[in-house]
Amino acid sequence: MVMGDLVIEVDVAVVGGGPGGYTAAFRCADLGLETVVVDAGTRLGGACLWEGCIPSKALLHVAAVLGEAERAKEFGVDFGAPRVSLDPLRKWKSERVVGKLARGLASVAKGKGVEVVGGTAVFEDSRSLRVEGDAPQKIRFKHAIVATGSLPAPLPGVSLTSERVMDSTAALELPDVPERLLVIGGGYIGLELGQAYAALGSKVTLVEMLDGLLPGLDHDLVQPLARRCEKLFVKIRLGTKVTSLREEGALIEARFSDGDTVVFERVLVAVGRRPVSAGLGLETTRVRPDARGVIAVDDRCRTADPAIYAVGDVTGEPMLAHRAMRQGVVAAEAIAGRPAAFDNIAVPAVVFTDPEVAWCGLTEPEAARAGRKVKVAKFQWAASGRAATLGRADGLTKLLADPDTGRVLGVGIVGPGAGELIAEGTLAVETAITIEDLAATIHTHPTLSETLMEAAETLLRGT
């Protein structure tokens, strides 16, 4: 291709406009650094805004409304059978939700003087990169921040290209509501999208290779979600692999490791995400991604190349937007010479299903693996007034504390609103407060937040 003559000189070139990239760019601009963002889509927001957190949560809100309407029958309110019109739903999701937030981001960028360049960035050395695309150009930088994020991982051993086999990005487009949907992967993306489609009317089958949903998480936090999924889905196949997918006319035939074959209108592959670091020209720099494509960084988000920083999913697990954003702030401040460090103790995680599952800090399996002694308090929502008024007594709030000092080390919550409630737990873990602090802080009554206080009290009383 022919290179344009245009060369931009900047303090900081950010590659990728996702939450890691735009947060870093905005902070750089605030700190007086001249900053440009290169994004393949010529837009800010990344996977999170366009094909991740935001559209999935929009659909899950719809699912929650449908679920609440169904539950209302318990107390004598019947709205009748819901009718869902996909066109207005898609329009609401993409214009009122995603579009509105995208315009907001664009105007913040403009206000801060951060230029967004469209095209694919390829490093030429540790001081410059070229932008390939409609407007080829060259950017010379003092520092670069790699924030190229991640992409859905393909299903290992199974290759079938069909529009009926979707990844999360395609599924969020909501092409239709398939009669039967196979969700491959019992992680948070499979569970969230599986529940959204189930709420919209699909008969969902979920298959997970390992023998539990949300593998690695505390069993008691997963249990209420698993029970709910058993009701919402027609079948959950645990400890099962998909060995082949075959297109059969308008259907996809899936074969499972136990020998069964079943047909579906659509298949959603949600088996994880892979960092995007190939094709970036990193070989011209000192950055060397590992075999999985992960770029290693230190606590200032510095890579092995002194001029290049990396943030977000491309730096590995946990691949979450809020972690990417915090890293973005750290990278920007480190570049500006501030004493920043990504030394966060708790990176909270939320599964926005019904019920929601949220946790932060130490989990029980982690404590067991590390042989770390912890005191565990569980508060069943059956004893919560607020949970009773919501008709949701199936929740659980759990605290892990240090037996010697009483410090809160981890918090896990399952139940409606867990995603909001976890914020207090995260603050507790991050600021190293004790169960006594939690127990002695007044929590509004009646709310679900009281369950944190109650759990702390059971630990204090030693019961």
What burial class does residue 346 get, using C-beta atoms within 10 Å of its C-beta: 0-12 exposed, 13-18 middle, 19+ buried?
buried
Task: Tell me, residue by residue from 283 to 322, as one string, x for binding to other proteins by CB under 8 A and - for no binding.
Answer: ----------------------------------------
| CB contact at 8 A, 408 and 399 | yes
| Rounded alpha-carbon distances, angstroms, from residue 214 to 49, 112, 349, 398 | 23, 40, 12, 17
DSSP 283-351: GGSS----TTSPPP--TT-B-SSTTEEE-GGGG-SS--HHHHHHHHHHHHHHHTT-------S---EEE
Query: Whole-angstrom Cα distance, residue 321 to residue 416?
Result: 21
Contact partner, 276, from ligand FAD, other proteins, none, Cβ < 5-8 Å per class: ligand FAD
The least CB distance from residue 133 to ligand FAD, in Å, is 9
The least CB distance from residue 462 to other proteins, in Å, is 16
Contact partner, 341, from ligand FAD, other proteins, none, Cβ < 5-8 Å per class: other proteins
Helix (H, G, I), strand (E, B) or coil at 234: coil
The least CB distance from residue 210 to other proteins, in Å, is 24
In the bound state with ligand FAD, the residue whose beta carbon lies nearer, of 310 and 455, is: 310
Q: What are the tokens at 212?
A: 């539990």
The least CB distance from residue 320 to ligand FAD, in Å, is 4
In the bound state with other proteins, the residue whose beta carbon lies nearer, of 17 and 406, is: 406
Contact partner, 189, from other proteins, ligand FAD, none, Cβ < 5-8 Å per class: ligand FAD
The least CB distance from residue 151 to ligand FAD, in Å, is 8
Which segment (5-13, 181-189, 401-409, 451-459) binds other proteins by CB under 8 A? Answer: 401-409
Contact partner, 437, from ligand FAD, other proteins, none, Cβ < 5-8 Å per class: other proteins
Looking at 11, 253, 420, 430, which residue binds other proteins (CB under 8 A)?
430
φ, ψ at 176 (rounded to 5°) = -165, 180
Instruction: Check binding of 80 to other proteins (CB under 8 A).
Output: no
Query: Whole-angstrom Cα distance, residue 239 to residue 301?
Result: 37
In one-letter notation, the amino acid at residue 250 is A
Contact partner, 396, from ligand FAD, other proteins, none, Cβ < 5-8 Å per class: none
Q: Which residues of 423-456 are buried (b: 16+ CB within 10 A; e: fewer)?
A: ebbbebbbeebbbeebbeeebeeebbbbbbbbbb
- Interface residue list for ligand FAD (CB under 6 A): 15-21, 38-41, 46-48, 51-53, 56, 120-121, 147-150, 168, 189, 276, 280, 312-314, 319-322, 324, 352
Instruction: Check binding of 437 to other proteins (CB under 8 A).
Output: yes
The least CB distance from residue 83 to ligand FAD, in Å, is 26
Query: Whole-angstrom Cα distance, residue 276 to residue 293?
Result: 7
Instruction: Check binding of 407 to other proteins (CB under 8 A).
Output: yes
Q: What are the tokens at 54?
A: 């935001």
Active site residue 445: yes
Instruction: Check binding of 402 to other proteins (CB under 8 A).
Output: yes
Instruction: Check binding of 370 to other proteins (CB under 8 A).
Output: yes
Q: What are the tokens at 172?
A: 């969020």
User: Per the residue annotation, which of 61, 219, 443, 445 is the catalytic one?
Assistant: 445
Looking at 301, 340, 357, 376, which residue binds other proteins (CB under 8 A)?
340
Residue 403: partners with Cβ closer than 8 Å, 6 or more residues away = 373, 374, 375
Instruction: Check binding of 332 to other proteins (CB under 8 A).
Output: no
The least CB distance from residue 440 to other proteins, in Å, is 11
Give the other-Cβ count within 10 Å of 41's Cβ: 14
φ, ψ at 336 (rounded to 5°) = -80, 0
Give the other-Cβ count within 10 Å of 180's Cβ: 17
Query: Whole-angstrom Cα distance, residue 293 to residue 289?
Result: 5
Contact partner, 402, from ligand FAD, other proteins, none, Cβ < 5-8 Å per class: other proteins
Instruction: Check binding of 422 to other proteins (CB under 8 A).
Output: no
The least CB distance from residue 402 to other proteins, in Å, is 7
Instruction: Check binding of 347 to other proteins (CB under 8 A).
Output: no
Tell me the catalytic residues.
Answer: 445
* Residues at the contact surface with other proteins, assessed by CB under 8 A: 339-341, 343-345, 370-373, 402, 404-407, 409, 430-434, 436-437
